[in-house]
């Protein structure tokens, strides 16, 4: 198989692992399915995302670098660590893989009578009334984090995430620790930001769940595409500015 095909397939498989593991845990192991006594909670979901990325990194890292995130691919492209000709293959693989992963979870969840991806939110990202911190009061929904805060969160935390990922590519990085480093960073990000907007920092992950939620998630999806990419570019460029040329 040619390099471009291998990259697209590897990125598709890696993103599928991330979506099955992360949103899959949020959907199947919390709330309605798990019951109040067995829910894994925010800590469990954050660990699921981090472990999924860690496992994917060691599985496909040697093939594609395991970006499994358009913000990562575009950020690394901006600092010339991803070839321009390969970028479309990364992005297509990521989006398709994410949708396939969400589709697997949808089929599993939909086998339960009464399940509704639309009503449950399907672990989609949202702000305002669709922020996880929104509280129903008297038939109305209030108290969720607003658009401005979510924009700030997605830019800042994606920038930090890509900054750490870029740091693992430097010449002095200890071999074999990349997966562990970025997996723990993604876990930390989710611990902080799940209550705000369900944590995106990854447009492919957001697209995947929004496709099956099919309502407000699609309307708000642009936020979780545009601002993680801006954050990814910012994080990569800051890293390049800080690191000596000899360690690039």
pTM greater than the 0.85 cutoff: yes
How deeply is 47 buried, as exposed, middle or buried, from its count of CB atoms within 10 A (0-12, 13-18, 19+)?
buried
Task: Output the six-digit token pair for 225.
Answer: 């595409």
Task: Output the six-digit token pair for 204.
Answer: 């492919």
**Radius of gyration of the chain, Cα coordinates, nearest whole angstrom:** 18
**For the residues 47-75, what does the mean pLDDT come to?**
96
Phi, psi for residue 238 in degrees, rounded to 5: -65, -40
Segments making up each domain of the chain, as ranges: 3-247
In contact, 22 and 52? CB cutoff 8 Å: yes
**For the residues 159-182, what does the mean pLDDT come to?**
84
pLDDT of 3 reads 86
CATH of the structural domain 3-247, one choice from 3.40.640.10, 1.20.1080.10, 1.10.3720.10, 3.40.50.720: 1.20.1080.10
**For the residues 215-241, what does the mean pLDDT come to?**
97
In contact, 212 and 102? CB cutoff 8 Å: yes
Task: Output the six-digit token pair for 221.
Answer: 């999806």
Model confidence pLDDT, tens digit, residues 62-80? 999 999 999 999 999 999 9
The answer for residues whose C-beta is within 8 angstroms of residue 156's C-beta and 6 or more apart is 231
């Amino acid at each position: 198989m040619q390099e471009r095909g291998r990259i697209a397939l590897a990125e598709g498989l890696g993103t599928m692992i991330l979506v099955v593991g992360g949103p899959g845990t949020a959907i199947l192991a919390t709330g309605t399915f798990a019951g109040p006594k067995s829910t894994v909670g925010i800590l469990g979901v954050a660990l699921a995302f981090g472990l999924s990325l860690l496992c994917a990194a060691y599985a496909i890292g040697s093939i594609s670098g395991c970006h499994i995130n358009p913000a990562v691919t575009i950020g690394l492209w901006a600092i010339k660590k991803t070839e321009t000709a390969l970028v479309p293959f990364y992005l297509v693989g990521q989006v398709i893989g994410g949708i396939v992963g969400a589709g697997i979870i949808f089929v599993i969840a939909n086998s339960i009578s009464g399940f509704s991806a639309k009503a449950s939110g399907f672990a989609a990202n949202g702000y305002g009334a669709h922020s996880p911190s929104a509280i129903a009061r008297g038939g109305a929904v209030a108290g969720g984090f607003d658009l401005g805060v979510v924009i700030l969160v997605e830019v800042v935390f994606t920038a930090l995430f890509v900054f750490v990922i870029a740091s693992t590519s430097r010449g002095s990085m200890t071999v074999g620790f990349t997966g562990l480093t970025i997996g723990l960073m993604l876990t930390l990000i989710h611990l902080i930001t799940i209550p705000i907007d369900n944590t995106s920092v990854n447009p492919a992950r957001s697209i995947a769940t929004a496709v099956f939620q099919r309502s407000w998630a699609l309307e708000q999806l642009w936020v979780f595409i545009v601002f993680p990419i801006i954050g990814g570019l910012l994080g990569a460029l800051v890293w390049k500015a800080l690191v000596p040329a000899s360690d690039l």
